[in-house]
């Protein structure tokens, strides 16, 4: 077993270059399978989710080459096969193969997708969307066996603006006959990125980034090169880290508008931010931070993925902060871990209540999930003494070499192998 160790309370200085967005990449890779020619993605993050997706593509006879931050794939000879559970269960985004294989072959067979446990994560809206396009769920299998003779465009209203359901329906509808309209579609930047890739491949998608997306089905999708948008959650995590222990830190290669909901809250706390065209500079503030109230919402509201790292930062803020997660009401496993470090945090329903205690102590804690792991890194960097974080495979699913990036800024952070007994 490998752990991350942090010797806290060292000030950080320097520049972080943000990688391509994880939650775009994990949809772009299944999306490119709809093409019949080679597709190149640029700016791909070096995370374990990408390795698993590459293995899934190879299993489906797609040629894959990973060269630096380029992901080159040719789905010309792709075959439709039941996805092995050993791969599909490693990440949530394996559900995007439902839309992509339905679009390409009119049939898909896979078990439940995996990913972080954040409370119940149903996919009923994905299935309802596919059914509107003429797909039938066949009851011969302990998982999902979805099939149709032909996909036919339809008018779909989503009960909730789900990121996954919006993208999955777009993937299937891209090759359906006729026109599909998705109403109450999700508006996250990652959805726009997926539609931009598909349009470059020859798809006809309009309205991405609004709550009504129109897809006119096409027969053939061709080669293209696509550069992935910067990861607003990775950027947000480093902004929070810089607010916690930074002296002068530049977060570079970002789209600042994607971070408006976070930067407005950081400013309200009193974090010293300078927002530039494609970077944000965080300078040490000599005034105490103020407590804030935050509620997570769909984009452009405050991202649920930043709720957990922000909770750790708020232990520094004077007063009582309240963070409500309206997207995942049970996304609070990090709270118990923060308590082990002396944080005065408690939960009530879907809310974390954080009281100031800037004397956190290093402790043995767990990365309970991806962003919970990021919260432990924020806390470990602020705490006195050594913090040891286990289950770090969660962190490696979404952050490119986070320990190396933080070391380059002056943090005392390293990996250690431990025996499993």
- Catalytic site positions: 116
Q: Which residues contact 140 (CB under 8 A, 6 or more apart)?
A: none
3-state secondary structure of 295: strand
CA distance 52 to 56: 6
C-alpha distances (whole Å) from 145 to each of 106, 107, 108, 151, 301 are 11, 7, 6, 15, 35
CA distance 373 to 396: 9
Residues numbered 323 to 362 that lie near ligand EPU (CB under 6 A) are 327-328
Smallest separation (angstroms) from ligand EPU to the CB of 94: 9
Which residue(s) pair with 39 in the sheet? 73, 224
Q: Following CA atoms 198, 199, 205, 210 in sequence, which dihedral angle do they give, to the nearest 10 degrees?
A: 90
Question: Applying CB under 6 A, does 125 fall inside the site for ligand EPU?
Answer: yes
Considering only 180, 263, 304, 366, the residue that binds ligand EPU (CB under 6 A) is 304
Considering only 305, 325, 337, 403, the residue that binds ligand EPU (CB under 6 A) is 305
Considering only 116, 156, 262, 354, the residue that binds ligand EPU (CB under 6 A) is 116
- Per DSSP bridges, beta strands 155-157 and 179-183 are parallel
Question: Applying CB under 6 A, does 53 fall inside the site for ligand EPU?
Answer: no
User: What residue is closest to ligand EPU based on CB?
Assistant: 164
Smallest separation (angstroms) from ligand EPU to the CB of 38: 25
CA distance 41 to 56: 17
Question: Applying CB under 6 A, does 106 fall inside the site for ligand EPU?
Answer: no
At 230, list the tokens.
């910067």
Strands (DSSP E) found in 120-185: 136-137, 144-147, 155-157, 179-183
Q: Which stretch binds ligand EPU (CB under 6 A): 78-86, 160-168, 195-203, 343-351?
A: 160-168
Question: Applying CB under 6 A, does 160 fall inside the site for ligand EPU?
Answer: yes
Question: Applying CB under 6 A, does 389 fall inside the site for ligand EPU?
Answer: no
Of 53 and 383, the one with the shorter C-beta distance to ligand EPU is: 53
CA angle 195/265/360 to nearest 5° reads 115
Considering only 226, 371, 377, 400, the residue that binds ligand EPU (CB under 6 A) is 371
- Per DSSP bridges, beta strands 39-42 and 224-227 are parallel
Question: Applying CB under 6 A, does 147 fall inside the site for ligand EPU?
Answer: no
Question: Pattern of binders to ligand EPU over 168-207, x per CB under 6 A?
Answer: ------------------x---------------------
Of 365 and 370, the one with the shorter C-beta distance to ligand EPU is: 370
Q: Could you list the residues that contact ligand EPU (CB under 6 A)?
A: 23, 26, 92-93, 116, 120-126, 160, 162-165, 186, 233, 304-305, 327-328, 370-371, 398
């Amino acid at each position: 077993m490998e752990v991350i160790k942090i010797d806290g309370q060292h000030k950080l200085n320097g520049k972080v270059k943000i990688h391509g967005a994880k939650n775009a990449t994990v949809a772009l890779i299944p999306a490119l399978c709809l093409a019949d020619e080679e597709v190149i993605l640029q700016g791909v993050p070096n995370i374990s989710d990408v390795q698993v997706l590459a293995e899934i593509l190879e299993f489906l006879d797609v040629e894959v080459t990973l060269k630096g931050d380029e992901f080159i794939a040719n789905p010309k000879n792709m075959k439709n096969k039941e996805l092995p559970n050993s791969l599909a269960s490693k990440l949530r985004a394996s559900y995007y193969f439902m839309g992509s294989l339905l679009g390409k072959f009119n049939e898909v067979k896979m078990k439940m997708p995996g990913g972080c446990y954040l409370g119940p994560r149903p996919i009923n809206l994905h299935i309802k969307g596919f059914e509107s396009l003429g797909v039938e769920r066949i009851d011969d299998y302990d998982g999902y066996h979805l099939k149709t003779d032909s996909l036919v465009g339809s008018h779909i209203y989503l009960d909730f603006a789900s990121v996954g359901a919006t993208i999955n329906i777009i993937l299937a509808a891209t090759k359906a006959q006729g026109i599909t309209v998705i109403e109450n579609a999700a508006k996250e930047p990652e959805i726009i990125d997926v539609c931009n890739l598909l349009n470059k491949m020859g798809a006809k998608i309009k309205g991405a980034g609004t709550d009504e997306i129109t897809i006119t089905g096409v027969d053939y999708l061709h080669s293209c090169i696509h550069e992935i948008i910067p990861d607003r959650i990775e950027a947000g995590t480093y902004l929070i880290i810089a607010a916690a222990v930074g002296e002068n830190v530049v977060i570079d290669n970002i789209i600042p508008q994607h971070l408006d909901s976070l930067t407005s809250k950081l400013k309200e706390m009193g974090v010293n931010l300078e927002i530039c065209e494609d970077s944000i500079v965080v300078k040490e503030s000599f005034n105490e931070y103020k407590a804030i109230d935050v509620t997570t919402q769909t984009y452009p509201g405050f991202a649920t993925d930043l709720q957990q790292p922000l909770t750790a930062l708020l232990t520094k803020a004077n007063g009582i902060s309240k963070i409500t997660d309206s997207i995942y009401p049970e996304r609070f496993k990090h709270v118990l871990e923060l308590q082990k470090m002396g944080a005065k945090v408690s939960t009530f329903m879907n809310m974390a209540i954080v009281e100031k205690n800037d004397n956190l102590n290093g402790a043995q804690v767990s990365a309970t999930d991806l962003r919970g792991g990021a919260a432990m890194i924020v806390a470990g960097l602020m705490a006195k003494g050594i913090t040891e974080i286990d289950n770090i495979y969660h962190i490696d699913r979404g952050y490119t070499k986070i320990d190396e990036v933080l070391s380059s800024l002056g943090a005392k952070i390293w990996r250690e192998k431990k025996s499993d007994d």
